Amino acid sequence: MYSILSREENPALRSISKEIPADELKGAKIKKLIADMKELLSKEEFGVALAAVQVGEPVRLFIVSGRALARGARNAPDEKESKLEARTSNLEPVPPDHVYINPILLKKSRGKVNKHEGCLSIRGKWGIVPRAEKATIRALDENGKEFTRGATGFLAHVFQHEMDHLEGILYVDKAVEMFDDKGET
């Protein structure tokens, strides 16, 4: 079983992740990696996505949790999210996690918004990061089928964070302000 590694114990976080060859997409190693990453992500209270490099595998793969997909699908502003989640949490089932293999960021909007951001590899900190309001990604799913997904708001933010991981970039590199997480709500 893999585990999420901190930046101090994971030098791969600063490397550019390698594309997964087509002949390895449906192999046992990638299937196990995906299954383990989904399980790890499901145990995280606040984590909404996980890149393979965060578990020590510098390959171009990330997973977005169904919780993030449900939140992004509503296209609600972040500030109103808790009220909206409360109204819809019992009405709609959470969609399954999405797997993005060999993703390519096709486009992102020019307009940027400062967003709160944290990382499962940098616990106890968070920052304010300027991110594009819209982003579009092309990738392969876990069955090797190509798809394109556009996103706005929160989900676009998640896409950009995870794509940065695949390029060896951490949110702290782009943060305009950093804070210690004091555990306050």
Pairwise CA distance, residues 42 & 91, whole Å:
20
Q: How far is it, in rounded angstroms, from Cα 62 to Cα 102?
A: 9
133 in catalytic set: no
Indicate which residue of 162, 167, 177, 184 is catalytic.
162
User: Which residues are tagged catalytic?
Assistant: 162
